[in-house]
């Protein structure tokens, strides 16, 4: 019975069906299934599968966003019960995200936020055109593990460097890891400005963030 339910949960995420995912989450609660187990053996398996499928070109960004929305719908149902049981899914880490000062392009940053959030990270999204000071203040406020700065324009990439410098100045690094992304960003640039990591897309960003949390080593 449970295996069947977990299978359906997984499928609802792959299908990107928030209504179905929410319904299955309700069903799990009604049947007394441990909500944490529902996540770990059902929904989270689906999001992992979706990420892998994206990686090999079988699924695409709209599919991935739908999967993330389904994941969110399921978590919204399960979370109160998890809290009640004190079995809350442990956040993989706290991530502060934003686009560099002067850059209003946020498609990439939003994708990273969605994928990381769906995968269990706690996201603090500062939005677009964020100053180094705002990044630092938020990182301090929430005791962030990772700060991610996105820049599409070559003219705003300098803003990524400014954030890293500000994190250094405030003594937040190396405890807080700084990661960067954006169309024009390269691993070379990441190395040049001393970032702890860079990824080409949202799925790679997930791997990067997990690695940084797990090992705390630089991956550039």
In the complex with other proteins, the residue whose CB is nearer, 46 or 182, is 182
Q: Which stretch binds other proteins (CB under 8 A): 20-28, 43-51, 101-109, 207-215?
A: 101-109
Interface residue with other proteins, options 19, 76, 80, 107 (CB under 8 A): 107
Instruction: Select from 142, 155, 169, 191 the one that contacts other proteins (CB under 8 A).
Output: 155
Q: Alpha-carbon torsion 78, 83, 89, 95, what sign?
A: positive
The one among 201, 207, 210, 211 contacting other proteins by CB under 8 A? 201
Q: Distances in Å between the alpha carbon of 125 and those of 19, 111, 174, 202?
A: 25, 11, 21, 15
Which is nearer to other proteins, 43 or 54 (by Cβ)? 54
Please report which residue ranges of the chain form alpha helices under DSSP H: 2-15, 18-30, 35-38, 44-55, 61-85, 107-118, 132-142, 157-169, 187-192, 202-215
State which of positions 3-42 bind other proteins (CB under 8 A): none
Task: In whole angstroms, give the CA distance from residue 24 to residue 70.
Answer: 11
Q: Contact letters (x/-) for other proteins, 55-74, by CB under 8 A?
A: --x--xxx------------
Please, what is the Cα angle at 197 between 171 and 101, to 5 degrees?
A: 70
Q: Which residues bind other proteins (CB under 8 A)?
A: 54, 57, 60-62, 104, 107-108, 111, 154-155, 183-184, 200-202
């Amino acid at each position: 019975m449970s295996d069947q339910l977990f299978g359906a949960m997984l499928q609802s995420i792959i299908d990107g069906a928030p209504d179905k995912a929410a319904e299955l989450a309700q069903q799990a609660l009604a049947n007394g299934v441990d909500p944490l187990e529902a996540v770990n053996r059902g929904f989270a398996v689906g999001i992992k599968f979706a990420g892998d499928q994206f990686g090999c070109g079988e699924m695409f960004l709209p599919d991935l966003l739908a999967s993330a929305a389904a994941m969110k719908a399921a978590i919204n149902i399960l979370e109160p019960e998890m809290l009640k049981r004190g079995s809350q899914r442990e956040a993989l880490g706290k991530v502060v995200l934003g686009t560099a000062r002067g850059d209003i392009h946020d498609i990439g940053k939003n994708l990273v936020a969605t994928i990381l959030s769906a995968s269990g990270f706690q996201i603090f999204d500062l939005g677009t055109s964020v100053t180094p000071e705002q990044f630092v203040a938020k990182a301090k406020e929430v005791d962030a593990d990772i700060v991610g700065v996105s820049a599409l324009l070559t003219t705003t990439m300098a803003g990524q460097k400014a954030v890293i410098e500000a994190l250094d100045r405030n003594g937040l690094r190396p405890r807080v890891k700084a990661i960067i992304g954006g169309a024009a960003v390269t691993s070379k640039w990441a190395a040049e400005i001393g970032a702890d990591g860079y990824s080409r897309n949202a799925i790679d960003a997930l791997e990067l963030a997990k690695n940084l949390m797990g090992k705390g080593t630089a991956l550039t």
